[in-house]
Amino acid sequence: MVESWRQLMDVGLIHFMAYPNATEPPAVQETVRKLAEDDFWDVLEIKRVDEPGVHDELRAIAEQSGISYGMAAQPNLLGGKLSLNDPDEAGRQAAIDEVKKSIDAAYELDARITAVLSGPDPGEAERDHQMDLLVDSLVQLCRSAQDQATDYVCWISLEAFDENIDKACLIGPSDRAAQLAQRVREQVDNFGITIDLSHLPLLRESPMETVTQLSDYIIHTHAGNCVMADKSNPAYGDQHPRFGYPGGENDVPELQKYVESLIYAGYFQSEVPTNKPVLSFEVKPVGDEDSDLIVAQTKRTWRRMWAQL
């Protein structure tokens, strides 16, 4: 059956990762348009563009091409060194305000999910306190999204990152992510978790271990690669090199195990805020690699995997 995955999911791409040099106008519109012309992609995950009029252009591209958007607040949180679990109240408020701007952008672009991440893990002594702060921040953001809702409610999805290799985030390990999600869901219902194949080796977790612990909360998924064996490798850490990158952890077999685990856990039959469950690829050129070629290689990796599934 040709492209039978379309019965189960929408396949996406993280735009600003695949095209790291094209995140400002007019390059952002040009590359989004190029991807929208390729009917392989159903979803493009983008970060907010503050220049007036750009979101109108991007929305027109989506309406004409049939793609949809996801809103990524992670780059601005990371770039601004902002933390939703910052013990300094002014710092935490700055992080909350930053994400609220991305929620506004999500509604402008008809995006159903705004993705965030936690701040750094403070260590065992302060972890419980900062978990409380993170829960409070996320509840505030979910309620802010609810307050703006008209015909749909934008959901907040927290992406789990590594704990101690690169981003060193509080969330983090899947057991901690599950505890967080349970606490937030006790207060609001428009919250979930994003998992990423790229981060599982960094967390030293298997796909099955992750999806079984988080199956009640996963509303969004990413897939990519990472390097963790050689610190001298230019792609070391959470850099999302292409599948099969030398020294990397993930290629066709690992992607297959990941998708099989998601199928086993029922993700592709679950109720999610998006049109269908989404699996988006997060891949980035390394050095002088070419973005268009990396995107093409990602599509081939997916098709090779699906043929073996």
pLDDT the model gives residue 281: 98
Task: Please count the structural domains in the chain.
Answer: 1
The fraction of the chain above a pLDDT of 70, given in percent, is: 99
pLDDT the model gives residue 96: 98
Q: Is 12 left (phi over 0), alpha (psi -120 to 50) or beta?
A: beta
Q: Nearest CA to 208 among 284, 161, 267, 289?
A: 267
Q: How far is CA 308 from CA 156, 255, 257, 260, 302, in A?
A: 34, 11, 11, 11, 10
CA angle 164, 168, 171 (to 5 degrees): 110
176-203 core/surface letters (b: 16 or more CB in 10 A; e: else): bbbbbbebbbeebebbbbbbbbbbbbbb
CA angle 28, 138, 182 (to 5 degrees): 120
What is the Cα 191 distance to its own chain's centre?
Answer: 14
Its domain, for residue 166, covers: 4-308
pLDDT of 2 > 60? The answer is: no
The neighbour count for residue 252, using CB atoms within 10 Å, is 18
The fraction of the chain above a pLDDT of 90, given in percent, is: 98
Section 180-196 average pLDDT: 98
Rounded to the nearest 10 degrees, how much is the dihedral formed by the CA atoms of 261, 264, 269, 271?
Answer: -70
Amino acid at 91: G
Q: How far is CA 181 from CA 103, 184, 195, in A?
A: 19, 5, 13
CB within 8 Å of 163: residues ≥ 6 apart = 121, 169, 172, 173, 202, 203
100-133 core/surface letters (b: 16 or more CB in 10 A; e: else): bebbbbbbbbebbbbbbbbbbbbeeeeeeebbeb
pLDDT the model gives residue 215: 96
Section 43-67 average pLDDT: 98
Section 134-153 average pLDDT: 97
pLDDT digits (tens, 9 = 90+) for 198-239: 999 999 999 999 999 999 999 999 999 999 999 999 999 999
pLDDT digits (tens, 9 = 90+) for 272-291: 999 999 999 999 999 999 99
Confidence band of 3 (pLDDT split at 50, 70, 90): confident
Confidence band of 145 (pLDDT split at 50, 70, 90): very high
pLDDT the model gives residue 305: 97
Q: Nearest CA to 180 among 116, 239, 240?
A: 116
The domain spanning residue 117 has which CATH number? Answer: 3.20.20.150
Section 131-144 average pLDDT: 98
The mean pLDDT of the chain is 97
Looking up tokens 């519109």 gives 29
pLDDT the model gives residue 1: 40
Question: Is 161 within 8 Å of 193 (Cβ atoms)?
Answer: no
